[in-house]
């Protein structure tokens, strides 16, 4: 949330061209969250253990975790898995709303508001395929204007992100994102931490930010109305509660 690796060259080219637009739209919301964090995080490496979905600060059991597979739908290509785990107070609130209920748009709005307001949460995106940094930056730049129009970012941040991408993610310049790389966002009461970890455990990016406004933008990017990720993530709550 196998690789493209038809019957004729003409058909294959048309299919791949159509799927490129789909992937850009689906990948952008997840990518945007990381870039928003990186743009505001500064350059200081964070201290302490790496953020984890298994953190003792987070809840366990039903209504604590949401998950989805990010896919390129035309060819059914798996792009990434996305998991969200929240703290115990948020779990309790989500359970109170969702238990015994069926998914609906009205209920989704209530659940989304609770998720966005979580005091502590970890969001993890694990890539299922390789993606070059240039391609990823290109996707973001093409969609920054759309994000601003949707109210996710302002014009200053649009410009700041577009111009700052190569520096912020220079560690990935030649390497890009590889299969099983993890992007992890740890939301705390007054902080936000972003980590990129390779499949082999190498920390490629580690940024920390203490600005209150930035911690909210991550969860809002996933659960705001119109997000590609909102419905599948929230629907997974009901599956876990069955």
Other Cβ atoms less than 10 A from the Cβ of 10: the count is 9
- pLDDT for position 44: 46
**DSSP readout, 15-75?**
HHHHHHHHHHHHHHHHHHHHHHHHHHH-SPPP-SSPP-TT-TTS--STTSEEEEEEEETTT
Number of domains in the chain: 1
Decide if 68 is inside a domain. yes
Decide if 233 is inside a domain. yes
Which phi and psi (to 5°) does residue 240 adopt? -70, -30
- pLDDT for position 121: 97
Q: 3-class SS at 133?
A: helix
- pLDDT for position 114: 95
- pLDDT for position 13: 44
Mention every residue, 6+ apart, whose C-beta is less than 8 A from residue 182.
124, 125, 126, 127, 195, 196, 197
For 177, which DSSP code? Answer: B
- pLDDT for position 94: 97
- pLDDT for position 124: 95
Decide if 180 is inside a domain. yes
Decide if 51 is inside a domain. yes
- pLDDT for position 211: 57
Instruction: Name the residue range of residue 203's domain.
Output: 9-241
Q: Give mean pLDDT in consecutive 10-residue pieces for the chain, a chain of 242 residues.
A: 40 46 52 50 59 95 94 72 97 96 94 93 93 71 57 68 74 90 92 90 86 65 79 90 58
Decide if 115 is inside a domain. yes
Which phi and psi (to 5°) does residue 219 adopt? -65, -35
Q: Are 35 and 207 in contact (CB under 8 A)?
A: no
Decide if 123 is inside a domain. yes
Mention every residue, 6+ apart, whose C-beta is less than 8 A from residue 241.
62, 63, 95, 98, 99
Decide if 1 is inside a domain. no
């Amino acid at each position: 949330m196998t690789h493209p690796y038809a019957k004729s060259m003409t058909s294959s080219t048309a299919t791949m061209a159509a799927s490129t637009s789909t992937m850009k739209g689906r990948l952008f919301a997840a990518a945007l969250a990381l870039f928003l964090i990186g743009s505001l995080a500064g350059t200081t490496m964070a201290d302490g253990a790496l953020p984890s979905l298994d953190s003792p600060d987070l809840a366990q059991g039903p209504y604590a975790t949401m998950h989805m597979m990010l896919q390129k739908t035309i060819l059914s290509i798996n792009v990434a898995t996305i998991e969200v785990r929240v703290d115990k107070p948020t779990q309790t609130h989500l359970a109170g709303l969702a238990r015994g209920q069926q998914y609906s748009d009205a209920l989704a709005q209530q659940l989304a508001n609770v998720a966005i307001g979580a005091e502590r949460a970890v969001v993890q995106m694990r890539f299922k395929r390789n993606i070059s940094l240039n391609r990823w930056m290109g996707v973001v730049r093409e969609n920054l204007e759309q994000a601003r129009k949707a109210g996710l970012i302002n014009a200053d941040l649009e410009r700041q992100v577009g111009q700052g991408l190569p520096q912020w993610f220079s560690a990935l310049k030649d390497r890009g994102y590889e299969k099983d790389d993890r992007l992890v966002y740890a939301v705390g009461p007054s902080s936000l931490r972003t980590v990129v970890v390779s499949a082999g455990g190498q920390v490629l990016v580690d940024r920390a930010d203490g600005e209150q406004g930035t911690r909210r933008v991550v969860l809002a990017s996933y659960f705001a109305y119109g997000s590609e990720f909102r419905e599948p993530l929230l629907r997974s709550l009901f599956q876990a509660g069955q």
